[in-house]
Amino acid sequence: MAFQNLKQILLTIFKWIVICISIGILSGSASAFFLVSLEWVTQFRIHHDWIIWLLPFGGLLVGLSYYYWGESVVKGNNLLLEEYEKPKKVIPFKMAPLVLLGTLLTHLFGGSAGREGTAVQMGGAIADQFTKLFNLDNSERKILIILGISAGFASVFGTPLAGAIFALEVLYFSKIKLKSIILSFVVAYTAYFTVEFWQIKHTHYSIPVVPEVSFSSLFYTIFLGLLSGLAALLFARSTHFWSSLFSNIKYPPLRPFIGGIILAIAFAGFGFTQFSGLGVPFIVDSFNHPNAWYDFLLKILFTGFTLGAGFKGGEVTPLFFIGAALGSALFLIIPLPIAFLAGLGFVAVFSGATHTPIACTVMGMELFGIQPGIFIAIACTIAYFSSGSVGIYKSQIVKGAKYKLYQKWL
């Protein structure tokens, strides 16, 4: 009997190791292909800026593809969250190619969107295919969804620790089993090293000067965290508002077409092209030069409008843009290093919008080093508590400290 039990345990361990490595390699390779493709379409747009005028037709293609072939996966990240909370049926694999194509079209023609949503959805769709392959039950399906999110996030940003924790935290940390935690880290590092194997480079940011811990530096950090939380709240509300507004257009493919007309006029006609696409060069510049006070507001407007209209991509890189621009602008009134302020805003706004302060704190230390860790943790925590109960993912269930606080006081 003891031998049979040991054999079963070893077979289970082997099964999950195979699943983790397979998901990590497949999701990491998908992210590598996506990052290369995204860089190509971005560079093409930059060198052929007239293409922004074709944004409405790019939107129409995205809308038509989801209307006729992707109705079951149109919810994107929210579908992953819903399937984790109440498993019903395996996520169709077509989610992966559809979101990949939709995101590349969005960025080719200049839509203001991110990339994490694409990687996470590809990872989730790939991971859930193992349900049938290994005949897994619903509780094991939940683990697959965690693994897919972890692999996608870790591979697209090059932050395996943050990716593993983000997948656990965004799905309500306290309900996660120990096995899920271990496997999440295994798949995150597998996906991360797969992208490294394909020699894909990630953007590097740095905080060269970190102030000493003092009353004033902590006070300014708390202040920045508060503003970051409010910016995250505004971004989430903006995205949901535009989505609700565009839902009044009864034929879905027309939503990104009409939205694309307005965006093309704004970007190409009125000179707001710096807010199109990912905006990574703008983020990098924020660490060295102060932004105008309204830059982060314009990014909130354009990204919320882009995603609300039905274009595809993600919210996280725009959140980095918003946070870095906000922190950079505060350099004009806060006597702290500009890169330090931009870096804190970079992760704090993300924390508030996704309700994931632990993952964002870890990400901050992965990107910027251990030295500013105490400031990053404070900014992310304050942003988390000040960003309200609604984040960028409508289907996310907000639990934990914030939930208990709101239940008590609101």
Mean of the per-residue pLDDT values of the chain: 93
- Check whether 410 has a pLDDT greater than 50: no
- State mean pLDDT over 315-333: 96
- Predicted pLDDT of residue 409: 47
- Check whether 356 has a pLDDT greater than 90: yes
CA distance 363 to 241: 29
CA distance 76 to 277: 19
| Domain range list for the chain | 2-197, 215-409
- State mean pLDDT over 186-194: 97
CA distance 350 to 318: 9
- Check whether 399 has a pLDDT greater than 60: no
- Predicted pLDDT of residue 389: 83
* DSSP run (H or E) holding 278: none
Task: State percent of the chain over pLDDT 70.
Answer: 95
Tokens representing 136? 């897994």
Q: Which residues contact 278 (CB under 8 A, 6 or more apart)?
A: 38, 42, 107, 113, 114, 115, 317, 318, 321
- State mean pLDDT over 268-291: 95
The pTM assigned to this predicted structure is 0.94
- Predicted pLDDT of residue 8: 86
- Predicted pLDDT of residue 403: 55
- Predicted pLDDT of residue 272: 95
- Predicted pLDDT of residue 261: 98
* Res. 393 pLDDT band, cuts 50 70 90: confident
Choices 3.60.20.10, 3.40.50.800, 1.10.3080.10, 1.10.10.10: CATH for 2-197: 1.10.3080.10
- In this structure, are residues 141 and 149 in contact, taking their beta carbons and an 8 Å threshold? no
- Check whether 401 has a pLDDT greater than 60: no
Q: Where are the alpha helices (DSSP H) in 129-272?
A: 130-133, 138-157, 160-169, 178-197, 215-246, 254-264
What are the backbone dihedrals phi and psi of residue 158, each rounded to the nearest 5 degrees, phi first?
70, 30
- State mean pLDDT over 241-259: 97
- State mean pLDDT over 108-123: 96
Tokens representing 99? 């979101």
* Res. 289 pLDDT band, cuts 50 70 90: very high
List pLDDT tens digits, range 141-173: 999 999 999 999 999 999 999 999 999 999 875
What are the backbone dihedrals phi and psi of residue 74, each rounded to the nearest 5 degrees, phi first?
-65, -20
- Whose tokens are 């309700």? That residue is 355
- Winning range, highest mean pLDDT, from 5-19, 250-264, 380-394: 250-264
CA distance 383 to 201: 29
Tally of CB atoms within 10 A around 29: 17
Long-range contacts of 176-180 (CB under 8 A, 24+ apart): 176/146, 177/143, 179/16, 179/143, 180/142, 180/143, 180/146
- State mean pLDDT over 93-114: 97
- State mean pLDDT over 233-249: 96
> Which CATH number is 215-409 given?
1.10.3080.10
> What is each CA distance from 49 to 268, 280, 325, in whole angstroms?
8, 17, 23
- In this structure, are residues 30 and 154 in contact, taking their beta carbons and an 8 Å threshold? no
DSSP-derived letter for residue 319 is H
Task: State percent of the chain over pLDDT 90.
Answer: 86
List pLDDT tens digits, range 293-304: 999 999 999 999
Q: Which residues contact 194 (CB under 8 A, 6 or more apart)?
A: 24, 25, 27, 28, 29, 32, 155
Residue 35: which of 321, 322, 314 has the closest Cα?
A: 314
- Predicted pLDDT of residue 347: 98
Query: Would 2-197 and 215-409 be classified into the same CATH topology?
Result: yes
Cα–Cα–Cα angle for 27, 29, 35, rounded to 5 degrees: 100
Query: Is pLDDT larger for residue 400 or for residue 15?
Result: 15
> What is each CA distance from 38 to 5, 103, 367, in whole angstroms?
48, 8, 21
